[in-house]
Amino acid sequence: MFFDTKAVHAGITPDPATGSIVPPIYQTATYILEEVGKDKGFDYTRSSNPTRATLENSLAILEGGKYGISFSSGMASVDAILKLLSSGDHVVSSNDVYGGVFRLFNEVLSRYGLSFTFVNTSEPSAVEEAIRPNTKLIWLETPTNPLLQITDIDLISKIAKAHDILLGVDSTFATPYLLRPLEWEVDIVMHSTTKYLSGHNQIIGGILITNSEELNGKLKFLQKTIGAVSSPFDCWLTLLGLKTLSLRMARHSSNGLEVAQFLADHPKVERVIYPGLQSHPQHEIAKRQMKAFSGMISFDLKGGFDAGKTLMNSVQLCALAESLGAVESMITHPASMTHADVPEDIRVARGLTNGLVRISVGIEDVRDIMADLEQALDKV
């Protein structure tokens, strides 16, 4: 079965009670047992829920994995992975990660005895050199947020296997339509379902997918024990979003490439970061491991922060908003919004300047998106 068909049908069966083609929402906290010690597969929604189970199964199939574990947010998913570790363990992480992940690692988990080394994971030698005897996890984003660095998953997977280290990949920007890290024997794939998977700015959620029965058991235990689970209604909305995932990602990607080319040719733009452009340092890797290049673009304007501020305050179609991956085009200033918790000296050293603008290109007519950016650039 091809991906476009899976997006519509994977894990979905007609409701046996009514024949409903849309999975029902099991909006319940608990379930009646048939007798002591005998249930119908569900006993309490924190432990499991039929709507959540349908979403977990559907996303596992789309990712090419065996097991899905759904959480209340992408950050809750990341936190669950880190709770597989113990005090004294060490993590090698992409240095260009979402600001919330940096905050979780540096300001929360470091107080519980975990240590972190942040490196440019697009350079495999940097990952190799950062490994210590107590390294238990390599954590990747690809493409990264917001500098869109691309990591060669195959090379990093081989490094992780050689050292018997767990490898986790945040593939939110790519989605299973563009990239499936499990094909390179990654241990765990994470997505913020808030973004492209649901696609309509209507829910908060996260998912972990693995082929390991052992990891699935541990993560299901954490899901039940901590209770940061996605609600039945949020799962149901995500299931509806998945049905158009392939259509939306194809449009996001084609629009993204055209907007990136438009910005690259604009005289007021200093640099454009987009994996689909030949100017991107990991363009060939992106071509090799991704089906297309998604709808995320980062760029610097000539004139720095003031120019970027003027642009973002002047857009009319593009929404000045946090988040990404929805049908609407959204524009963000990472230094003051998504990555505000990353110290300025660290941000700038990594290339995340105060003037960097990130745009999540939506599925509107690309001519309207470019016209909006053109009129905003005219004011810069």
Catalytic residue among 96, 152, 170, 372: 170
**How many CB atoms are located within 10 Å of the residue 2 CB?**
7
Please tell me the distance from the alpha carbon of residue 192 to that of residue 267, in angstroms, as a whole number.
35
Concerning whether 46 is annotated as a catalytic residue, the answer is: yes
Beta carbons of 51 and 23 less than 8 angstroms apart? yes
Residue 140 has φ and ψ, to the nearest 5°, of -115, 145
Q: Which of 380, 296, 295, 290 is nearest to 338 (CA)?
A: 296
Q: Which of 8, 13, 56, 63 is nearest to 244 (CA)?
A: 8
Beta carbons of 83 and 237 less than 8 angstroms apart? no
Catalytic residue among 26, 67, 98, 177: 98
Please classify residue 335 by burial: count the beta carbons closer than 10 Å to its beta carbon, then call 0-12 exposed, 13-18 middle and 19+ buried.
buried
Beta carbons of 107 and 114 less than 8 angstroms apart? no
Please tell me the distance from the alpha carbon of residue 109 to that of residue 264, in angstroms, as a whole number.
40
For the record, the structure tokens of 339 come out as 């990555």
Please tell me the distance from the alpha carbon of residue 330 to that of residue 321, in angstroms, as a whole number.
6
Beta carbons of 204 and 71 less than 8 angstroms apart? no
Concerning whether 195 is annotated as a catalytic residue, the answer is: yes
Please tell me the distance from the alpha carbon of residue 230 to that of residue 129, in angstroms, as a whole number.
38
Radius of gyration for the chain, computed over Cα atoms and rounded to the nearest angstrom: 21
Annotated catalytic residues are: 46, 98, 170, 195
